[in-house]
Structure formats: structure tokens, C-alpha cells
């Protein structure tokens, strides 16, 4: 007797090997049998004829740590994501240290939805809260270097003292002991960005005792790309941490031609024997908080200090001059995607909004940020389609959504989030595999499953084989697609028939289920939980 029998599907096992027609039998959370024409009874039998059966997708870059405490990540589950690597870009809801707790919470008020911040303090209590609140997917976690630096040093732009470095290292060790897989940085986001390379090396060093990871939103994705990739690789080389370069891209047309050199740096590091890889989302637009367009120095002291600078005419002039000098971009390509205080801005471009008020774009931005209490997100159309396809085709590149998890009725609260939140995985399989033929289906599935599991050391997931965990997606390769658009993102994918996590349906016949089979996966070398 089986719990679930999946018959007649084309199995793509996640290793990159070609598909085979095979049945799968599941008992509890495990794949117990694979074979042609498995006999026997099951509580549920699925006829998967015409469908692909693949391992559950592993989202290598998720910001759902800022949304999961408030509710399920339906937008990821309905794409087929059964494991999410959360805690990216240096910014995480934990650990919170008592002296700086309220400042850090205040600074993260613009991330995701409203969170029950009083329910955790250190990283372990945060993970416990996630587990208690119930999960539709498995969680692999990283802790943010920005959060740790803010915890120890506040929003100071100064260099860390030796004592402060020791205090940050102690925090890193503590999060690793709680089960984190490593540390992430977001080196365009203050206060994490105030750290020098040398400081980062010291702070990342403790992860290597845990065979841990260094994930980085690198210091520059524009003209500074090559130095930024080299810095991430150096940190890996000097600490021994395994490196992941997050959402690999190069921003703005004038920089597009340097991408090949960036990928060559990764190839060289791999040839040297290092563990360096990257992830990508399948869109030509990025998304971030509008306040990130302000100069780095304008963030010192955290949110109250930023708001004060935005109100001061002299500081405004200095910010405008620095922004014009440093930025490769164009306001015509920057669309407001979320502005709870002025939702009429959502879906409109900054250049157009500034024109309608007769302001310089920067002045419009300052006024808008002030009146929104900094709570404005933007989508920026700055990536080349050719580059995107080149990154996606690279053998060391996996797939990451770079998204929060949303419930499908979240439009009112969340504005127009980047459609990657709803369509990343189906878009790779539909647009890039089936429609454009950029990579074969087996390769795409490998990037979403086996390759990601191998990177994270998840030996019992990411592949289909007898004895492994039953995380599975059944999808129709002819129908899979991503209807979510920039104008109308809250749309589930089509063609995803079933999603099974730890042997339980989280999507059945295209419908989200109420089950919560997800688990917190802890770094297996942590000595105590």
C-alpha cells in the first residue's frame, strides 16, 4: 500500500539526464519505488500521462523570510517551489540584538508585510517561529551580514573596530549553531555596504568551520561588476566559504558588454578548484527599494537620519550631484511598483511622474520618499535579454526568484510586485525552454533541482530516486507559462498540475492545498539545535 502513486509520467530526475517514462510510488515523505507499471494500491493515484514529473524546485534566492512570518508563500508554492533558500542580500529579520533591536526593526519596516517582530530575537528563535507558524515548503536559511552589522554597530558608516569584528564573528557563529547555512551580504545596501572587504573576510570566516556559504548581492552590478565579482571570489578564497553570486546581472546598457568577463571570472575560480556559482531570475527588470537610489552616505544613521537628510535643501543638492555622477541609469526605466501612501503612483515611471509635477526626477524622488516614510519599491528595466540568456545557459547558474512569498489576494497591501514573485520557474520552463529553446528542459530542471541541492549539500532532495524525499512537481510542458506581468502580477502560473512537498500535496490539480508539510532544514554540521 502506497500513499501516492504517480503513473505514466515522464520523469526528469534532476541530474540532467534525459527523461524516462516511469511510475513513482510514495510512502509518507519518501519516494519508495520507481519502475514501469508499478502495481499496488495507493490512497491517491495520479495519471501523469503527458506531464513531466520533476523534483520540487529549489529557489536559490528567496526573500520570503520577510513574508513567511505573516503568511504562506503561495506565490512560490504554486510555481512548484518546495525548498527556498531564504535570508538573502544581507538583510534578515534575525538576529535582533537588544541594544539595536528597535532601530533594526524600524529600518526593515518597508520590507514585505507587517511582521510579528515580538516573536523572535536570535536566529534560532526566528527559525522556531517559522516552524511553529507552519510552512508549505522546506526552508534553508542564511543570516544577513547587514543585520548582524546593524545589530553590533548600529547604522554607523565607520570601519569596525577589532572588538566589533569579534562581536560580529560571535553572532555569525551563533547563527551557524542555530542551523543557518551561511552568511549573505547585500553590498549596495547600507549598513552592510559600509564593510570593507577585509572586514567581510573576518566576519565570514567562522562559517567555514560549518562548511558554510557566502551568498552575495555583490557590491556593484553596473560599471563596478568585475571588481564586485572579484571581491566575492576573494572572500571565498580567503575564508574557504562556498560562494554564490546572487541574481547575476549587469545593469544599464552602457555596461552590458562586460558580462562575459564577469562569467569568465567565475569560470576561472571554478577551474582553480573553488566552489563558486550564481543564480538568475528570468526577467530583464530588477526590483528594489527606491531609497537604494540615494547615495550610500545618505543612509548613515538609519531611517531617522535619512528622513532628516531628505528634508534638508543643502543635503538634497549634494545627493543630486552624487546621484548624477555615480548612476549609470535612467529614470525613464524606473517604475514605481509599490507606494502604499500614494497608490496612484504604482505602475508609473519616475520620469513621467516628475514631468507631471514639473520637478527634477531626483526632487520628485526625495519628496515621494519623504511622504511615503521611505516605503516605495521600484522595478527597473535595465537588463539585456541576450545577457539574461547567456547567464541562464551558464553551467554554474541556478534559478532564484528574488521574491517575497505572497498570498494570491495580496494586491491591496503589496502594490505591483515584480512578476518574478509569481512566474520565475514557469517562465524558465515555458518561455526560455519551450518557446525560445535557450536551454533543454532537462538542463533547466537540473538547475532548479539537482544542481541547487548539490550546491547546498542536500543529499536527500533535488533528485528523483528511490529512498529520497518526496518533493515533486507534475507539470504540463506544453502548457506551463507565467501569465504574471508587471501591470498585473498577482496571477498564478498555468500548467503546474501538482506540487508535493515531503509526500503531501501542496498543490493538487492546480489548486493550493491547506497542508503545511514544510520543514526547516538545518546545516548538518551545527553541533546543537
- Give the footprint of Zn ion on this chain (CB under 5 A): 89, 217
Q: Which is nearer to Zn ion, 281 or 406 (CB)?
A: 281
Q: Which is nearer to Zn ion, 89 or 130 (CB)?
A: 89
Round to whole Å and give the CA distance between 98 and 96.
7
Q: Which is nearer to Zn ion, 89 or 245 (CB)?
A: 89
Q: Which is nearer to Zn ion, 282 or 517 (CB)?
A: 282
Smallest gap, in angstroms, from Cβ of residue 390 to Zn ion?
A: 20
Is 377 within 8 Å of 289 (Cβ atoms)?
A: yes
Helix (H, G, I), strand (E, B) or coil at 394: coil
Q: What burial class does residue 344 get, using C-beta atoms within 10 Å of its C-beta: 0-12 exposed, 13-18 middle, 19+ buried? A: exposed
Q: Which is nearer to Zn ion, 48 or 398 (CB)?
A: 398
Q: Which is nearer to Zn ion, 7 or 223 (CB)?
A: 223
Smallest gap, in angstroms, from Cβ of residue 276 to Zn ion?
A: 17
Helix (H, G, I), strand (E, B) or coil at 463: coil
Smallest gap, in angstroms, from Cβ of residue 522 to Zn ion?
A: 24
State the first-to-last Cα distance of the chain, in angstroms, to the nearest integer. Answer: 35
Q: Which is nearer to Zn ion, 248 or 463 (CB)?
A: 248
The kind and range of the H/E element at 282 are none
Helix (H, G, I), strand (E, B) or coil at 296: helix
Instruction: Tell me 336's DSSP state.
Output: E
Instruction: Tell me 481's DSSP state.
Output: B
Round to whole Å and give the CA distance between 28 and 225.
46
Smallest gap, in angstroms, from Cβ of residue 68 to Zn ion?
A: 18
Bridge partners (DSSP) listed for residue 54: 473
Smallest gap, in angstroms, from Cβ of residue 248 to Zn ion?
A: 11
The kind and range of the H/E element at 250 are none
Q: What burial class does residue 116 get, using C-beta atoms within 10 Å of its C-beta: 0-12 exposed, 13-18 middle, 19+ buried? A: exposed
Helix (H, G, I), strand (E, B) or coil at 34: strand
Smallest gap, in angstroms, from Cβ of residue 152 to Zn ion?
A: 22
Round to whole Å and give the CA distance between 325 and 331.
14
Q: Which is nearer to Zn ion, 89 or 276 (CB)?
A: 89
**CA 227 to chain CA mean position, Å:** 22
Helix (H, G, I), strand (E, B) or coil at 431: helix
Is 497 within 8 Å of 519 (Cβ atoms)?
A: no
| Sign of the C-alpha dihedral computed for residues 315, 154, 116 and 68 taken in this order | positive
Smallest gap, in angstroms, from Cβ of residue 213 to Zn ion?
A: 15
Concatenate the DSSP letters of all residues of 482-522 into one string: ----SSS-----BSEEEEEETTEEEEETTEE-------EE-
Q: Which is nearer to Zn ion, 5 or 262 (CB)?
A: 262
Round to whole Å and give the CA distance between 453 and 322.
42
Q: Which is nearer to Zn ion, 9 or 90 (CB)?
A: 90
Smallest gap, in angstroms, from Cβ of residue 188 to Zn ion?
A: 8
Is 258 within 8 Å of 387 (Cβ atoms)?
A: no
Smallest gap, in angstroms, from Cβ of residue 62 to Zn ion?
A: 11
Smallest gap, in angstroms, from Cβ of residue 132 to Zn ion?
A: 28
Quick one: three-class SS letters along 53-94?
Answer: EEECEEEEEECHHHCHHHCCCHHHHCCCEEEEEECCCCCCCC
Smallest gap, in angstroms, from Cβ of residue 454 to Zn ion?
A: 23
What residues have CB less than 8 Å from 65, skipping those under 6 apart?
A: 86, 87, 92, 93, 126, 130, 141
Instruction: Tell me 433's DSSP state.
Output: I
Smallest gap, in angstroms, from Cβ of residue 278 to Zn ion?
A: 12
Amino acid at each position: 500500500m502506497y500513499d501516492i502513486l504517480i503513473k505514466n509520467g515522464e520523469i526528469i530526475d534532476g541530474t540532467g539526464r534525459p527523461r524516462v517514462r516511469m511510475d513513482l510510488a510514495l510512502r509518507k515523505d519518501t519516494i519508495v519505488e520507481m519502475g514501469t507499471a508499478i502495481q499496488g494500491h495507493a490512497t491517491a493515484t495520479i495519471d501523469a500521462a503527458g506531464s513531466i514529473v520533476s523534483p520540487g524546485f529549489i529557489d536559490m534566492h528567496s526573500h520570503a523570510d520577510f513574508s513567511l512570518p505573516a503568511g504562506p508563500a503561495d506565490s512560490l508554492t504554486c510555481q512548484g517551489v518546495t525548498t527556498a533558500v531564504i535570508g538573502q542580500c544581507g538583510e534578515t529579520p534575525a538576529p535582533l540584538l537588544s541594544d539595536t533591536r528597535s532601530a533594526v526593526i524600524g529600518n526593515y519596516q518597508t520590507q514585505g508585510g507587517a511582521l510579528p517582530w515580538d516573536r523572535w530575537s536570535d536566529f534560532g528563535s526566528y527559525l522556531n517561529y517559522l516552524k511553529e507558524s507552519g510552512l508549505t515548503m522546506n526552508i534553508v536559511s542564511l543570516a544577513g551580514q547587514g543585520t548582524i552589522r546593524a545589530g553590533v554597530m548600529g547604522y554607523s558608516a565607520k570601519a569596525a573596530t577589532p572588538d566589533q569584528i569579534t562581536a560580529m564573528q560571535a553572532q555569525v557563529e551563533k547563527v551557524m549553531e542555530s542551523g543557518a547555512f551561511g552568511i549573505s551580504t547585500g553590498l549596495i545596501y547600507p549598513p552592510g555596504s559600509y564593510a570593507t572587504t577585509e572586514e567581510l573576510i573576518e566576519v565570514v570566516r567562522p562559517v567555514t568551520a560549518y562548511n558554510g556559504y557566502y551568498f552575495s548581492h555583490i557590491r556593484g552590478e553596473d560599471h563596478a561588476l568585475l571588481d564586485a565579482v572579484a571581491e566575492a571570489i576573494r572572500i571565498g578564497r580567503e575564508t574557504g566559504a562556498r560562494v554564490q553570486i546572487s541574481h547575476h546581472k549587469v545593469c544599464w546598457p552602457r555596461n552590458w558588454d562586460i558580462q562575459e568577463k564577469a562569467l569568465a571570472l567565475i569560470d576561472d575560480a571554478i577551474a582553480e578548484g573553488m566552489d563558486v556559482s550564481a543564480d538568475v531570475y528570468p526577467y530583464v527588470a530588477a526590483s528594489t527599494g527606491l531609497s537604494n537610489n540615494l547615495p550610500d552616505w545618505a543612509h548613515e544613521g538609519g531611517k531617522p537620519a535619512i528622513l532628516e537628510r531628505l528634508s534638508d535643501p543643502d543635503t538634497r543638492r549634494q545627493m543630486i550631484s552624487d546621484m548624477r555622477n555615480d548612476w549609470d541609469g535612467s529614470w525613464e526605466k524606473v517604475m514605481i511598483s509599490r507606494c502604499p501612501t500614494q497608490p496612484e503612483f504604482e505602475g508609473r515611471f519616475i520620469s513621467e511622474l516628475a514631468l507631471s509635477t514639473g520637478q527634477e526626477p531626483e526632487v520628485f524622488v526625495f519628496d515621494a520618499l519623504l511622504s511615503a516614510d521611505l516605503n516605495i519599491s521600484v522595478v527597473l528595466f535595465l537588463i539585456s535579454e541576450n545577457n539574461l540568456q547567456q547567464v541562464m545557459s551558464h553551467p554554474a547558474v541556478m534559478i532564484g526568484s528574488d521574491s517575497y512569498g505572497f498570498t494570491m489576494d495580496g494586491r491591496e497591501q503589496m502594490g505591483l510586485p515584480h512578476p518574478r514573485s509569481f512566474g520565475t520557474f514557469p517562465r524558465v520552463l515555458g518561455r526560455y525552454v519551450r518557446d525560445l529553446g535557450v536551454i533543454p528542459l532537462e538542463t533547466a530542471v537540473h538547475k532548479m533541482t539537482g544542481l541547487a541541492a548539490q550546491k547546498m549539500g542536500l543529499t536527500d532532495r533535488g533528485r528523483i530516486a528511490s529512498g529520497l524525499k518526496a518533493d515533486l512537481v507534475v507539470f504540463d510542458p506544453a502548457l506551463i507559462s507565467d501569465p504574471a506581468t508587471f501591470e498585473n502580477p498577482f496571477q498564478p502560473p498555468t500548467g503546474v498540475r501538482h506540487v508535493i512537498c515531503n509526500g503531501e500535496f501542496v498543490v493538487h490539480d492546480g489548486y493550493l492545498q491547506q497542508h503545511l508539510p514544510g520543514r526547516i532544514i538545518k546545516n548538518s554540521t551545527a553541533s546543537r539545535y
